[in-house]
Amino acid sequence: MARTLQTSTAWPSHPAPSLLRLTWLWSGANPDPTGLTMAHGTTPHFHNTEGLRSIEVGSKEFQCVGALPPFDHPHVFLDMGKDTEIVCPYCSTLYVFKAELGAGQAKPASAIFKAYAA
C-alpha cells in the first residue's frame, strides 16, 4: 500500500525533533492514522534484549524500547518512511522492513514487546 505523507500532519501535539523524526510516546497515543499497524490501533513495540545485530519487522512505524524493562531505553518512535530499514539511535539495532511478516510482527518473534498489548 502506498505510504501517504504524514510527517507534519500526523503528530500535531508532538514536537518531533528533525533527527530521524523521532517522537516521545510514553502514553498509548497512536501516531498512525492509517491504522495499518495492529488491529487495536496500538503502535507495535519491539525490543532487542537478545542483542541481535538486526531484527526484521513487519511495520515501518513502531517503537523501540531497546530491552525488556527495567533495562529499556526511552521508548522511541521510529518511522522508516520510504526506506526499508532504520537504526535505533539508542540501541543501534538495525530494523529491516519485511512486508511478508505482516504489521506488528517481527523475526525473531521474541523481539515483539507485548507489554502494551493489553
* Residues binding Zn ion (CB under 5 A): 64, 66, 88, 90-91
Instruction: Give the residue with the Cβ less far from Zn ion, 5 or 31.
Output: 31
Q: Which residue is nearest to Zn ion (CB)?
A: 88
| In the complex, least distance from residue 60 CB atom to Zn ion, rounded to whole angstroms | 16
Instruction: Give the residue with the Cβ less far from Zn ion, 47 or 58.
Output: 47
| In the complex, least distance from residue 89 CB atom to Zn ion, rounded to whole angstroms | 8
| In the complex, least distance from residue 78 CB atom to Zn ion, rounded to whole angstroms | 8
Beta carbons of 55 and 72 less than 8 angstroms apart = no
Instruction: Give the residue with the Cβ less far from Zn ion, 29 or 87.
Output: 87
Which sign does the torsion angle of CA 73, 78, 80, 84 carry?
Answer: positive
